[in-house]
Amino acid sequence: MQQIKINNSPHLVRFCVLAAMIASLHFITVNAQEITTTVNDQQELSLTVYNQDLALIRDVRDVSLNKGLNRIAVREVSAQIRPETALITSLSDPNSLSLIEQNFDYDLLTPQQLLQKYVGKQVRVVKTHPTTGAEKEVLATVLSANNGVVLKIGDRIETGVPGRIVYDQVPDNLRDRPTLSILANNNISKNQTLELSYLSGGLSWKADYVAKLDETEKQLDLNGWVTLNNQSGASYKNAKLQLVAGDVNRVYEPRRQHRDVVMMKNMAAEAMPEMAQESLFEYHLYTLGHKTDVLQNQTKQVALLSASKIPVNKEFLLQGNQHYYYNQYGVIADKLKVGVFVEFENEKQYGLGMPLPKGIVRVYKNDSSGNAQFIGEDRVDHTPKNETIRLKLGDAFDVTANKKQTSYKKESAFGRYKHAASSSYEIEIHNAKDEDVVVKVLEPVPGDWKMQETSLEYEKVNAYMAQWLVKVPAEKRITLSYKVLVRY
């Protein structure tokens, strides 16, 4: 009789142990009783939303667990949950619960999904007689559900659905809503307070500001709003809402593509007390002072700040370009645009003095009839307290400029310089308004430069910038002329 030798190699032993573990895991997974928890079990819910399509969701629920293995089906989680970030713990008895496995079931119950799950399986097809209305039931095997239905009925292959399809049951991995399924071992037999925390996409926020200039254009009122968008596939009711402002570093990986998200279908606005803010690491955290509902496919607005009679400085700016100093030109430009800016200080004495999240500031002013008119908008970055907020509202209609180069001469270069030239310019500024204006002229001069002549007083604001403040009387023209030596 031939003896069978058993190979006791370490690789075979490890393989056998792994196979046994997989078989054991399959056994306990199949035999674990499923316990469903819904939002009705919710005791606490909080959202921390970031600027970058990201939110941290903390969901606390009371769940009745059996002693031993439990499969916990957590329903109404975000459809854009990042399952690898999910963390579930017991708040009532932290040492009693140990996690074994978790799955995110995102295949939702639809006729098409149900049909696809039955490919290769039998269904019943109910046909109705067109005259008598009598129904006849036949067995069919689903061969394909891609771009149509292919059925095998008896010895025939048919496309399309010749009647109603009746299924015996809904597959276990097909849910009517997004569900996080967790396999856990529970050492005690009593209700547990479980906390589920996870990161999710589909939630984001931005700041929007509305400013109104007074008649003198020397003061403005400012209101800030937080606009929150929820396209995560879930609703969050009676939730504590917190917002993080700042650029949080994230690692982006290829991810499963979710189904097309329905566009926002409603907007809710809440004019509530201003949000409290605090420092969080190198960011800022804003907390809404009351609980709120953040519904699926909803754009929600909550008040961020309100300040009035903030001193504002209006500025006309004519910005040059350094490449006109390298070569010879004639007329550089006619009817140059003069930008219009307003700026104010983010200081407490003006009702501000808090870190302002980045967003768009839209500015209005009343016309002669008292009707508010839109006069421009600009985007601002995250702004710490006591910093200047500067907005470009557009270009002036009645203030224009003409610029030309009146001379250009190459000079001798020496030392570390390879090129040198002196050039002269004239900038004619026309004010068609019925009031005086001051136009700031900024000329970025390249290289090592020296102002040789100027018709108006100037300031060298930095190594590469010359500045003039040109006062132009109402309905007058003022010409600024200067000559500069440039070496590079």
Q: What proportion of the chain, given as a percentage, has pLDDT over 70?
A: 87
The confidence score (pLDDT) of residue 257 equals 45
User: Could you read off the pLDDT of 453-479 as tens digits, one per residue?
Assistant: 999 999 999 999 999 999 999 999 999
* pLDDT tens profile 435-449: 999 999 999 999 999
Using pLDDT thresholds of 50, 70 and 90, give the confidence band for residue 263: very low
Strand blocks (E) in 201-282: 203-213, 219-230, 236-245, 266-270, 276-280
Of 124 and 32, the one with more pLDDT: 124
Question: Is residue 488 very low, low, confident or very high in pLDDT (cuts 50, 70, 90)?
Answer: very high
Q: Which residue has the higher pLDDT, 390 or 273?
A: 390
Indicate the pLDDT class of residue 1, thresholds 50, 70 and 90.
Answer: very low
* CA neighbours closer than 13 Å in the CB half-sphere of residue 247: 4
Mean pLDDT of 381-402: 95
Q: Domains of the chain by range and CATH?
A: 19-45+58-107+175-200 (2.60.40), 111-166 (no CATH), 315-342+391-487 (2.60.40)
* Residue 252 pLDDT level (bands cut at 50, 70, 90): low
453 close to 482: Cβ distance less than 8 angstroms: yes
User: Taking 90 as the threshold, does the pLDDT of residue 160 lie above it?
Assistant: no
- The tens digit of pLDDT for each residue in 179-229 reads 898 999 999 888 899 999 999 999 999 999 999 999 999 999 999 999 999
Identify the three-state secondary structure at position 186.
strand
- At residue 380, does pLDDT exceed 70? yes
Q: How far apart are CA 136 and CA 400, in angstroms?
A: 85
Cα Rg of the chain, angstroms: 35
C-alpha closest to that of 268 among 233, 292, 244: 292
The answer to whether the beta carbons of residues 480 and 426 sit under 8 Å apart is: yes
Pairwise CA distance, residues 45 & 31, whole Å? 31
The mean per-residue pLDDT over the stretch 151-161 comes to: 88
Higher pLDDT, 427 or 105: 427
**pLDDT (tens digit, 9 = 90+) per residue, 417-441?**
999 999 999 999 999 999 999 999 9
- What is the pTM assigned to this prediction? 0.70
Judged against a pLDDT cut of 60, whether residue 387 lies above it is answered with: yes
